[in-house]
Amino acid sequence: MGNFLAVYSKEMRSYFVSPVAYVIAGVFLFLSGYLFRSILMQFNMICLQLGQRAQQMGGGMPALNLNEMVVTQFFAVMDFIWLLIVPMLTMRLYAEEKKTGTIELLMTSPISSVQVLLGKFFACFSLYAIIVSLTMVYFLILEAYGSPDWGPIFSGYLGYLFLGATFISVGILASALTENQIVAVLLSFGILLMFWLIDWSASFAGPTAAKILQYVSFIEHLEDFQRGVIDSRDVVFYLSFTFFCLFLTTRVIESRRWRR
């Protein structure tokens, strides 16, 4: 536990003493804020148009669902931004240690590679969770002027935590495979995009293959959360994906010890 905390606090410190955390949080919040504003303006326009039409033609105003038209829309675009941002958070975790030789310190200290890995994973996950939770402000603004249904918002955020853990584990695995941070970023982009778009090919595949392809897609499982459904199958999917990548990472790191 002590070792885990030592690594965790070292990684957290390293995010916050360098500009990394601030720049990533800043860029992300700017982009997502801009998108949220655009979605909101669009919704506003639709409301206005429908209101005018109702006045001209008579008849009532159709019921517009704030969750469907704003919240779900916003979630759908934010997913993709995370796919671009998370590899930047994870790229240095192992690659830099390998490049500067500090991995030699970790490997020759009485600390297991699992403790190191968990320290790094949870530090990155905490930073991710902090940035994600900052976007909750947008929904508070929504609450001030309308009445969104908070259930799907909360479950959507829960989905983000699971999705984030999965993204981070993929990024860490990529970082452990190389000492070059650019390679680590590209590798994690590649893997994440692949699993993002994999259900596309489901439409051309046979029935069994289609089911498998749909199952391993990141998006499929996220949609449930964003509709307000917390399904244990989705939770199991994200958690097992995360564990698998973290397990592979320990194997990659440990391989130095058994490659004779």
Partner 1 sequence: MIEVNELSKSYGEVVAVEGVSFAVGKGTILGFLGPNGAGKTTTMRMLTCYLPPSGGQATVAGFDVVEESMEVRKRIGYLPETPPLYLDMTVRAYLRFVARIKGVTGPQLNGRIDDTMEKTGIAHHQNTVISHLSKGYKQRVGLAQALVHSPDVLILDEPTVGLDPKQIIEIREVIKGLAGDHTVILSTHILPEVSMTCEKIVIINGGRIAGEGTPESLIAQLKEGEVLRASIGGPGQEVLSMIRAMDGVIDVAVESGGEEDGVFIITSTPGTDVRDSLARQIVDGGYALRELRGLDMTLEDIFLRLTTEEVKA
Q: Give the interface with partner 1 as residue ranges (CB under 8 A).
A: 2-3, 5-7, 10, 13-14, 17-18, 100-112, 256-260
CB distance 154 to 123 below 8 Å? no
What minimum distance in Å lies between the beta carbon of 102 and partner 1? 4
When the beta carbons of 5 and 141 are compared against partner 1, the nearer one is: 5
Alpha-carbon distance of 81 to 206, in angstroms, equals 31
Alpha-carbon distance of 237 to 225, in angstroms, equals 13
CB distance 218 to 166 below 8 Å? yes
When the beta carbons of 72 and 113 are compared against partner 1, the nearer one is: 113
When the beta carbons of 7 and 173 are compared against partner 1, the nearer one is: 7
What minimum distance in Å lies between the beta carbon of 116 and partner 1? 8
Q: Provide the token pair at 208.
A: 């069994």
Angle subtended at Cα 162 by Cα 237 and Cα 183, rounded to the nearest 5 degrees: 90
Alpha-carbon distance of 79 to 35, in angstroms, equals 12
When the beta carbons of 2 and 60 are compared against partner 1, the nearer one is: 2
Q: Provide the token pair at 250.
A: 């320990």
What minimum distance in Å lies between the beta carbon of 21 and partner 1? 12
What minimum distance in Å lies between the beta carbon of 252 and partner 1? 16
Compute the 3-state secondary structure of the chain and give helix, strand, coil in percent, each to the nearest 5.
85, 0, 15
Q: In 3D, which of 108, 228, 101 has the Cα closest to residue 159?
A: 228
When the beta carbons of 42 and 112 are compared against partner 1, the nearer one is: 112
Alpha-carbon distance of 133 to 165, in angstroms, equals 15
Q: In 3D, which of 15, 197, 45, 43 has the Cα closest to residue 124?
A: 15
What minimum distance in Å lies between the beta carbon of 229 and partner 1? 43
Q: Provide the token pair at 150.
A: 């908070």
When the beta carbons of 6 and 191 are compared against partner 1, the nearer one is: 6
What minimum distance in Å lies between the beta carbon of 177 and partner 1? 19
Q: In 3D, which of 126, 103, 119 has the Cα closest to residue 1?
A: 119
When the beta carbons of 65 and 109 are compared against partner 1, the nearer one is: 109
What minimum distance in Å lies between the beta carbon of 39 and partner 1? 38
Q: Which helix (H) or strand (E) holds 55?
A: helix 20-57
